[in-house]
Structure 1
Amino acid sequence: MSALPNSIEARDAAYQLHPLVDLKAYEKTGGLVIERGEGVYVFDNSGKRYIEGLAGLWSVAVGFGEKRLSDVAKAQMDKLPYYHIFSGKTHGPSVELAEKLVHMAPVPMSKVHFTSSGSEANDLVVKLCWYRSNALGKPEKKKIIGRQKGYHGVTIAAGSITGLPRNHQSFDLPLPQMRHTLCPDYAGTALPGESERDFSGRMAAELEKLILEEGPDTVAAFFGEPVMASGGVFVPPEGYWQEIQAVLRKYDVLLVADEVICGFGRTGQMFGSQTYGIEPDVMVLSKQLSSSYLPLSAILMNESFYEPIARESERLGTFGHGFTASGHPVATAVGLENLKIIEERDLVGNCRERSPLFLRRLAELSQHPLGKGFRGVGLIGALELKPRETPGAAGAALAEAALEEGLIGRSIGDAFCLCPPLIITDEEVNAMFDALARALDKIAA
């Protein structure tokens, strides 16, 4: 932190509470001030340039400084800076984006509801599952199953579905209705000689065992990311989603696909559900939906999910839920323009074209003396490091060294994760991995 008492670093440490840090340590050290962005790069307040290897927080698909998005935001601000969608009101941007998303969905969807973050959206899906169960006359069917190391947000219900201890400890989470099944970490937890298909079958058998132990009539939904990102980038093994979906259908358990990170091209197709043959009842979208230029998320639901909810609202006389910013006109206008850019510039195709180089460079670095393995698909991946005595120390050391070399990534345990903007070029992919290689050599020395 700057020694200057009135510097932005000192004022930040004095006045702002930050997520995902040791708060007492942060009071002493302060943080890195990012001042501007351009393409795949961001610049700190000293002018140093960094490759943003995590696209902000897995989210800035079109890169930084996209003028089309700022122009659309200003035009909408000038026309209608805010209006709500309560009590029979609506406006053009939210209608157009809802229609666009229903037409883009990889499986038939009926309705869209907008919120402002993935956490908020997943939290609402839990409420809707409970509301729907009551509408169907199944008041016991309320339990929600997530996965160990899965991530669905940090609000009370979404944080409870999340399967990461750091998001539960001292928060009195998870809620009693939440359960967790195994993480499909094939490389880390497969039995000796176990094939990917056999491993997937075992994961499905564990899920079925959990449902039977809880009672199928008490389990409402299963939440899963197509690729588990924030838990450490776990790519599903062969046959995993087919096996899981068969169990869910057998016991009438809803499937909620959390596409917050995978959606809009990250895995090489528009949605992770397409990459892995997932047919969800509900999809949750955010992050690349607006490239995080403005807070925006969306819940897509199929007709069988929506119709009981609609009937219950008819019985009660209203649907007793709403957020002030749902369908915000500026956010939805920016989201619509962002999707136009993704389609016009074929950023999903760019992901597919850049992916072989991305995964090859990742695989090469896994052979470094500090490397242990790698995981990845499309333009998302993780380099697994050999652990030190303190869990997570190797990942933290690499993240710090990478920052010194002009690369921002994210350490999760002893994995270093990358998820660059979808606009990245081969030259920039190589620059990103060259910086990571220098960082590995630095800490090895």
Structure 2
Amino acid sequence: MTLTDAHAATDAARVLDAPALWSAQAHMPSVVGRQLVIDRAEGSYVFTTDGQRLFDGTAGLWHANVGHAHPELARAAFEQMQRLETYHVFARYSNDKALELGERLAALSPIERAKVILNSGGSDAIDVACKLARRHWQQQGRPTKQVILSREHAYHGLHAYGTSIAGLPFNREGYGTESLVPETARVSFDDLAQVEETIERIGADRIAAIVAEPVQGTGGVNPPAPGYLEGLQRLARDHDILLVLDEVITGFGRTGEMFAAQRYGIEPDLVTFAKGVTSGYAPLGGVLVAPRLWEPFYVDAPETPVFRHGATYAGHATAAAVALANLDILERDGLVPRVRELEEVLRRELDALRERQEAVVDVRVAGFLGGISLDERLVNERVADRAVDLGVITRPLRGNTLQLSPPFIVSDREVVDYVAAIEQAIVEEAGR
């Protein structure tokens, strides 16, 4: 055996003997031995098992809006578990916290007289919303309306429906068909004329819904082109297609309003949510449902149908208690208005970064969401790795983009320092 063969055998053994946990969204040979193991956190900072302190510039996966290790949320979970950990919400049964949260969310909803379906997260919510869209048209006697449209570069989770409507091809590939659920199609993320052409080609009589993130997250932090969301709403109404807003990232303050629908003046038929509803302290998501969809299932008659949704942990009492406490903190501490202030700081710093660094080809800001697109000479994964060495977390996304979405509790100074650290990482990587 040559020395090269010996090294290869050693590397193979290292990968195969990796920890039992199969990391999510990971090319495993590339991450084995390089994982950052987080064992505690405080506010906007997380700490690794080897003692590194990192500014959490992505708020975990876009969710730690009120920061980490908040004692009030820990107390809410502890006190609820001592009283009732949970009870399901199937048929006649419910629990008081799920009911209370439903009323609270309906009052905050951008949909008037909304009903609330609770489940365990964003991917669950997308599956339910797409199924309900199809079920609605079946109930209305229009069985051909089955196709779900979504946008290029879109990410809607990785359950069967989320995988099927993904606008990121690598999330759909490898399962033997172009889409796990065949009745799906993609439209332009910024060109309304192309959206209308797709509707005409498929036929509005075959399309059940259009699903859209108000601000695309994983697809590269893409704010809506001016007039795009309004135009999408118009097309949906003109062609009798349901409009589903995926607010899993943007919901609960990330764009400076409780929901991005309110920022952009959109009136959707369905809204999916998760992440910020508990700031990630408990797995909870759901769907806000407009009257035109829920009313047929509430008619007091023997022939009224049942919409077959539900999961064991839907309406989980402890998760609901945490969500209620989280909403209290957002409102009491004025964190949603604070986002609008932080947006201006982030915009100023990123605009200045673009002016200074030729390697930065574009910056995008919407609320407290930012994206930095890099010149092709740099690799965003390497820049993100270098940023960790400098004590901050950013995340590589599609389009050679870096994600910025810190918790709402950060100071202006921390935003300035965060962008400065990313700039240093860019400069150092460019100089390699």
Give the TM-score, by structure 2 length: 0.92
Structure 1: which 5+ runs fail to align? Answer: 1-8, 185-202
Measured after TM superposition, the shift of residue 223 of structure 1 is 0.3
Question: Residue in 2 aligned with 1:68?
Answer: 72
- Mapped pair 1:398 → 2:389: no
How much does 1:420 deviate?
0.5
Change (3 A) 1:217 1:310: farther
Q: CA RMSD in A?
A: 1.8
Displacement of 1:14 after TM fit?
A: 2.4
Q: How does 1:120-159 map to 2 (within 5 A)?
A: 120-159=124-163
Name the residue aligned to 1:34. Answer: 38
2:395 corresponds to 1:410: yes
Match of 2:345 among 357, 361, 368: 357
State the partner residue of 1:105: 109
Q: Which residue of 1 aligns with 2:283?
A: 295
Structure 1 runs (4+) deviating above 6 angstroms are: 9-12
Q: Which amino acid aligns with 1:323?
A: A
SS at match of 1:366: helix
**Using the alignment, how far apart are the partners of 1:151 and 1:323 within structure 2?**
23
TM-score, length-scaled by structure 1: 0.90
Name the aligned partner's letter for residue 207 of structure 1: V
Structure 2 Cα separation of the partners of residues 46 and 313 of structure 1? 63
Secondary structure of residue in 1 paired with 2:313: coil
SS of the aligned residue for 1:13 comes to coil
Matched, 1:80 2:66: no
Q: 1:314 to 1:273 in 2, by over 3 A?
A: farther
1:340 paired to 2:328: yes
From 328, 331, 335, the equivalent of 2:319 is: 331
Change in CA separation of 1:116 and 1:348 when aligned onto 2, cut-off 3 Å: same
3-state SS in 2 of match to 1:180: strand
Contact 1:53 1:407 in 2 (8 A): yes
Question: Does 1:217 find its partner at 2:205?
Answer: yes
1:199-210 to structure 2, matched below 5 A, reads 203-210=191-198
Judge conservation of contact 2:86–2:95 (CA < 8 Å) in 1.
no
Identify if the C-alpha distance between structure 1 residues 436 and 313 changes in structure 2 by more than 3 Å, giving closer, same or farther. farther
Corresponding residue number in structure 2 for 1:284: 272
Displacement after TM superposition at 1:26 (Å): 3.2
User: Retained in 1: the 8 A contact 2:124–2:286?
Assistant: no
Q: Name the amino acid aligned to 1:349.
A: P
Give aligned-pair identity as a percent: 36
In the other structure, the counterpart of 2:359 is 370
Size of the aligned set, in residue pairs, is: 414
AA paired with 2:389? E
Are 1:181 and 2:169 matched, yes or no? no
Offset of 1:315 from its aligned partner? 2.6
The separation in 2 between residues aligned to 1:315 and 1:130, in whole angstroms, is 19
SS of match in other structure, 2:78: helix
Cα distance in 2, alignment partners of residues 312 and 442 from structure 1: 67
The aligned counterpart of 1:441 is 427
Deviates more, 1:124-133 or 1:294-303: 124-133
Contact kept, 8 Å, 2:383 with 2:429, in 1: the verdict is yes
Q: Quick check: 2:298–2:304 contact (8 Å CA) kept in 1?
A: no
Question: Does the 8 A contact of 1:365 with 1:383 survive in 2?
Answer: no
**1:407 alignment partner AA:** V
Name which of 214, 226, 230 aligns with 1:242.
230
Unaligned runs of 5+ in 2: 1-13
Q: Distance in 2 between matches of 1:133 and 1:311?
A: 17
